[in-house]
Structure 1
Amino acid sequence: MSIGFWQVILILVIVLIIFGAGKLPKVMGDVAKGVKSFKSGMKDEDDAPLDVNKTINQPAPAAPPVTPTAADPAPTTAPKKDEVAKG
C-alpha cells in the first residue's frame, strides 16, 4: 500500500487548515531546521568511530589481594519479647 495522489492532496489541505497560510512557511522552516540538526548529529556520531581494538586488547587491571576477616559471632540465645518490643 502506498500513498496515492489524492491522499497527499488531502493531507496538504488538512495541514493548511490547521496551521493557516501565514504560519505554514514558519512551520516548514522549523521542520527543516530539525531535520538538518538531526542529520548533523548523526554525521557527528559517524565521524568519531570508537576504537574497539584498544578497549578489547587492554589487560584488565589487577585486583587487590583479598584478606578474609573474622565476622562477629551470631548470638546464641534469642532476644526476649520485651527487648524486641523496646526496639
Structure 2
Amino acid sequence: MGISVTKLLIVLVIIVVIFGTKRLKNVGGDLGAAIKSFRNAMSEEEEKGAAKPSEEKPIDGEVTSKKDDNG
C-alpha cells in the first residue's frame, strides 16, 4: 500500500505538465533562498546568545496572600 516509484514518476510528470519546468525552477530557487536565509538568521541568533549570557534579575515585591491549593 506504499507509494511506488512509478506512482512518484507519474505525479512528477503531471506536476511538470501543469506548472512547466521554468516555473518549477523559480519555485525551487525561492524555496532554497528562504531556507538559506532562515539558517543564517538562526546562526546569528545562536551567536548573539553565546556572546551575551542572560542574567535573571530578581523581582522586588511582597507576597500579599498565599493561594490555597484546596480551592
Greater relative contact order structure (CA < 8 Å, 6+ sep): 2
Q: Which residue of 2 aligns with 1:37?
A: 37
- 1:46 maps onto 2:19 in alignment: no
Q: Which residue of 2 aligns with 1:18?
A: 18
Structure 2 residue runs of 5 or longer lacking an equivalent are 63-71
Cα RMSD for the two superposed structures: 2.9
State the TM-score, normalized to the length of structure 2: 0.54
The Cα shift of 1:32 comes to: 1.1
State the TM-score, normalized to the length of structure 1: 0.47
Bigger radius of gyration: 1
The Cα shift of 1:29 comes to: 1.0
Q: Which residue of 2 aligns with 1:59?
A: 58
SS in 1 for 2:20: helix
The Cα shift of 1:47 comes to: 2.1
- The letter of the residue matching 1:8 is L
Deviations 1:10-61 (CA, angstroms, capped at 9, x unpaired): 3322321221123222121111111112222222232222734x11xx3323
Runs of 4+, deviation exceeding 3 Å:
1-4
